[in-house]
């Protein structure tokens, strides 16, 4: 699977109007971005069906796979903000992986909080 690198959007101190769609369209092979505890994810769904966004968690605890984290994005007006992720979401290559149940009408913004 060839994931697409998501564009990171710096949040200005003056704020950001959320009236536009996030910058990254969902892709069949998923998105990725370099993990930082200063990054938040916004997922918007304009399709008529709800979508599930999965954040892939690597690793095991006592030999058991750690379950991935799913977020259901409502149909038509779904606009969900996912807060900064703990380091457990960081893959061995330093990236966060985002998978989609379907991609029609789904866009993703990865925003960097100001220092």
Q: Are 68 and 57 in contact (CB under 8 A)?
A: yes
The pLDDT assigned to 77 comes to 83
50-90 pLDDT tens trace = 999 999 999 999 999 999 999 999 999 889 999 999 999 99
pTM (2 d.p.): 0.91
Domains of the chain: 4-9+23-112 (2.60.120)
- Say how far apart CA 111 and CA 10 lie, in whole Å: 6
Count of positions (residues) in the chain: 115
Average pLDDT over residues 88-95: 96
- Provide the mean pLDDT of the chain: 93
- CA-based radius of gyration for the chain: 14
14-23 pLDDT tens trace = 888 887 778 8
């Amino acid at each position: 699977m060839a994931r697409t690198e998501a564009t990171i959007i710096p949040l200005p101190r003056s704020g950001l109007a959320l009236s536009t769609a996030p910058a990254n369209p969902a892709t069949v092979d998923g998105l990725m971005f370099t993990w930082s505890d200063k990054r938040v994810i916004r997922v918007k769904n304009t399709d008529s069906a709800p979508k599930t966004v999965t954040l892939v968690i690597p690793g095991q605890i006592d030999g058991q796979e750690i379950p991935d984290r799913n977020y259901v994005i409502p149909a038509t007006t779904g606009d969900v903000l996912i807060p900064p992720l703990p380091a457990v979401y960081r893959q061995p290559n330093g990236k966060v992986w985002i998978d989609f149940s379907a991609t029609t009408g789904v866009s993703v913004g990865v925003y960097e909080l100001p220092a």
